[in-house]
Structures are given as C-alpha cells and as structure tokens.
Chain A
C-alpha cells in the first residue's frame, strides 16, 4: 500500500501504476475480444445479415393538412403520387433492361440516369416521378425480379378546384437546398413539400404533418423482406386542417364573372370582422403544376404571359384609386369643415381653370353641385376645388387614416404599401417638385397615388361598418384531423377612421345615392340596398382601369367588395361586384353543408 510520498521519490507510484496498467490491459482485451467476436467470428453472419445495409429506413410521408373554405368545402386535398426509384449499387444491368421494358422507357437513357457518377450509389434515386397507375402495377407485380427497385407511394398536393383561389392558397413544392439547411432542425428532408406562398406558406406550421419512419429488412440481393423485427414503425402524423374564411361559392362566382382575357382583382370582406370572403387575382394559374415539379415549357408560358398570372394583384397590384378616392377627399373636406354639406361649389362647365391649366371633368358639365351630388355624379371639378381647399398635408393625413399607404395587416403573404405622397415626396431634387396642379390630380385619385385592391376593400368595409378598420384575415380556424378545434382565427382591429359620425353618415348617404341615381346603377339588387362608388383609373400606358367598391345591405352591411379590371371600359367592374354580392346575400342561395365524410376520407 502506498504511503505518504517523499517529495522527490515516486517509486511507490510503481505498484499503483502497474495495477492501473493491468486494469487497462484487461479492459482493452475485453474490447478486442468483443471486436474479434463481431468482426471475425460472426463477421460472416453479419456480412450476410447486413451485407447490403440490412436495415433500410423508409420515410413515410405524412399527408398535409387540408385547406377548406368556411363551410368545409375542400380547396386543397392530397392525392397519391407514385415514384419508381432505383438504388444504383444494387441494380444490375439486366434489371435495368427489364425495368426499361416494364416502364416503357429507353434502356440506354435509363442506364445513363442510374449510372450517373454524381449520385450517391447507396441511396434510392427517383427514376420516374408521377408514374401512372398502370406502370406502377406492372412494376409492383415483378418487384421480386427487380432487386434494387422500389416503388414509393407519397401523398402530394391536389388543388381540387383547379386554379380557383390559386393566389390565396398559394402552392407547395419541394423544399430547396436553402430552406433545407435552414429548417433541418424542424425535420425537413430533401424531397419534402413546403408551402411556398399564400396560405400554404403562412400556415405551413399547421398544415405540415410529421413524417413517419419504417425500418425495412433487406436481404443480400437488395430485396425487401418486410419490417425489421425489433424496430417499430413510427407512424406519420397528418397535418392539421385549415379552414379559411373564404366562401368557395362567392369565390367561384367572382372568378367566373371576370373574363379570362382580362387582368384584375376582386376582394370581398365581411365588414363586421374583417374576414375575407373572396380573394381573386386574375389571370390565375393552376397551383397543381408546382408540387410535382413544373415542366420548363409550362413555366415559360406562365412567365412570358403578357398579363403576368403570377402577380398577386390583390395585395401586390398597385393602381391609382381613381374616383373611388373621392370618398376620402370628401371625408377630409367634410370632417375639417372645409366643405359644408349643403354648400354648392363653383359650377362644373366641363373643366376647371387653375392658372394657365385647364383641368377637364369627365363630363361636359355638371353645373353647381353639393357634396352628395358631386359623389353621385363623380364630378371632377367639384373635387378639384375641394382638393385645393384641403391641401396636400391634410388630405394625406386622411388618406393614411383610411388605411392607405400602409399594409392592411392581412395574415397571409406579403403586401405592398401603396403610396400616399406627402410634401417630402415632392422633392424638386428628384425632378418632381410640388405644384398646386398636382393636388387636382390627387383629389380625384389620379397622379402619384397608388393603392392595392385589398386596401380599398378594407377602406370600403370600414365605411360600411361605421368606421372600424379591421386587419383582413383568412384564417377561420384550425382543426386536428380528428376534428378538434386547435386554433381559432381572431379578428383584430387596425384602427378607426379618423372622422366624425356625421361625416360618415353623409358619405354613406352619397354611396347609396350612387347606386340609386348615379354611375353605380348596374350594381342594383332587387332584394337589398347596395352602396358603392365607381372609378376609372387613367392609365398612361393604355386603356383605363375600371374600379368599383361597394357594400350591402346598406343599412346593415354584411359584405364589402373592391374590384378592379385592368384595361377595361368604365363601369365594367360594377356588374361583377353585383354578382359577387348577390352570390353571398341571395335569399335563394342554398346553404352549403359540411360534408364530414368527404373530409375524413381525404385524411386517410
């Protein structure tokens, strides 16, 4: 036993050291013995047992959650997609030939693809995605003669209504490299679908399920023997179902009402809570093209399309508000008492002289008008005068107070701010100095003023509901596959219109009059009172754009709509909005019922 050491003598360490070395030796012998057992004695057992990675892990893709409208009508579903894959190291030349026969492909091509040097030779490589059911059954039938070949059945996205709601639903496609490295910790793997835009992107966290894992035993020839005993399968967990505030019927009516040859946008909002009922951007595209990889040809036709189908005009289309802006100009004037409700302005004689400039009205001459009649007739001369009284600063203040020039706060996707210019904008150094003439343009919604259709819909809804600017939202609720409510979409308020109640009353009176005896007559409905305002945006690059914003019923509004059609004649948007309002309010409309069976079937 070692005693207390002298300071410079370690000789008594020796016995401890020898014991220690002995213990280490014994342990190392045990380790080596175990290795010898594994690698030499049972090496052959292991080699045949595991010659070709005896356990193969197969990812069981989870179905994505469904997207439904407020009534449970399925907008985005899942369907089976078959992928035939080959593991390069396991597949022989004869097998490749055989596989070529079965799939009807050129054997040389197939060989080239499988023998590609850049592939990981040990991993299944997809050789035919979206294989037809016939091809798959032929291959499955002969799978035993096709070592190294696997058939994967994966759920992929199916947008049941074709291109309907394409811009609002967005689309999914395979996660790219960048996303994969960003989201590795969340379990995303190469080949996984991920929401790339719209609802699919915003609510990815609900829609995405959890992939499962199956351990498959494979024999030395690369043939699958079945589940590996001792490793239990992890079942995939389906994603949660997202119910949108959209009304598929209203959406469909709106989409049909806009001719396919035109570009435009239409948004319908429930003014009592900001729920979006219809969200249309035309032309649209078929989101079904994306989940399985879009062919270059098709992609090019979409990209080169002159009307730019990929542009989401609801949130990212920027237009001058045109005469619909007169609502804001009138509100600013009335609220600041710069306009008296019954004061008649200088008569309209088809134009207005400001210095040397002669600013025209759209009409030959309206005569002397009060504010309500000016809105009803959309008289430019009246609003030129109003604009000059109000001035840029105050006018801009009100425009911003009506939610213009800033994001609406919609829950999905990116949106443009639009532009409400202020004095700083008119910087002479940027070649755009301020002149009073510019106020004339702004007052009637032209000039350096840009709004999105969604902003106009929110503005209209606020006028309709008594002054509350809601953040528009699409999320109605989220339900688990079993049907339990997980999340409920909540209304949120962006602010209040900065105007007095009397001002609002006058505006609403005028908007009703627009329908009953003015430019909005084509929006009239027999069973309910519609209110609204038309507009024609001057387009320096071609034909004008046609605007209409409106709501109904006028005394108890349930729907507010904003629509714009590009390069369309004056008033063309009006009957389209009428159809949408009718689709929502019509007493003849059958109430759609939720088909629970339909939903559960889709969740399998």
Chain B
C-alpha cells in the first residue's frame, strides 16, 4: 500500500503521521498542498491550522490544488484519514456530514483523552474490539462536533460513529469524536492517533489504527 501525507501551510503532526507509517513499513511520502494526489491508497489530512484557520477552520484548504481530485479518490474507495484540522477540512468539503464548532468551554484543550471504540467494521478500526477504551491526545479549540437531529439519526442508523469521548471535553453532540462517511472509507476524528505511536511519547494506542489500515489492505 502507498500512503501520502498532505502538507498545507500551517499543518502540524504531519511528520508524526509520516513517521508512524514509515515505522510500520508503509511506502509513504509528503504531498505539498500545490501538488496532486496520485494513486495513493491512503491519504492523511493532518492536524494544524491550514491557511491560518481564516474564515472557518478548513474553509480555505478545501480549494487547495492537492484536494482537487479528492472526491474522485474517495469515490474510487481509497482511504482518507482526516485528523483534527483534517476532520474540519473533510466537513467543509462535505465528504463528512456536520461541522466543528468552538469548544463549549471556549478553551483550547490540549490533553490526553479516553475514547470508546464504537465501530470496528471500518478499514481504520478492524483490529480494535468494540467497546475498547483507547487513549489519544487531543489539541483543539474547535472540536465541538455539531450535526442536526436528522443528520444524527442518519449517522446512528448507518453505524457511522467510530469513536466517542468517554468524558466529553468539548461539547460534541452525542460525545462524537470520530465518524466515517456512509461508504466507510473516509474517517474524520479530532483526537490524534499519530501522536500516540510510542510509549516514549506517552502511549501507543494509536498504532492499532494504522495497523488496522495495513491489515485492511493485506486482506483486500
């Protein structure tokens, strides 16, 4: 499998995402925002503050050249993982439903966070067990996931909620921390699995997510 980590002006943790994939022997490269995505099996949209978060988080990034063919990529069934700002970009692109609002308590929250794995029937979580508690860091000011009642019913009906917060830090509807699209090949999540890749960094629960992706391609 081939992976690409997109780098916007203002991205962060792009190097963490690259390193975790490299460590797991995935052929990975950085893709700068004015390049094109090619035939990568996995595209990672990293965290950060692309284009200074101007207007709304992710609103400007969606016009970047690198995302011009992201919808075709998604339609082909290839994988997209949007972390933090990447999740915000995916909602702005309408690749995922809902929106991310300012945290309810107005604080930028930077802490470890326990998540409950809700859906293991995705290419991103197939090695977890439903109900597993995993610890990933969060670092965001606008991670308060909002979706209207009708949208929420759809998410639940289609089993699109992948991660929930054990202790909701930001006011997200239904404690939602991460969702997939209907097809299941696009995951957006506010917590950072790529930062939980080594015990030296405080934990390695995130490795399982990347190993799941590798397992998915091995089976395919």
Q: Do A and B bind each other?
A: no
B residues near A (Cβ < 8 Å) are none
A residues near B (Cβ < 8 Å) are none
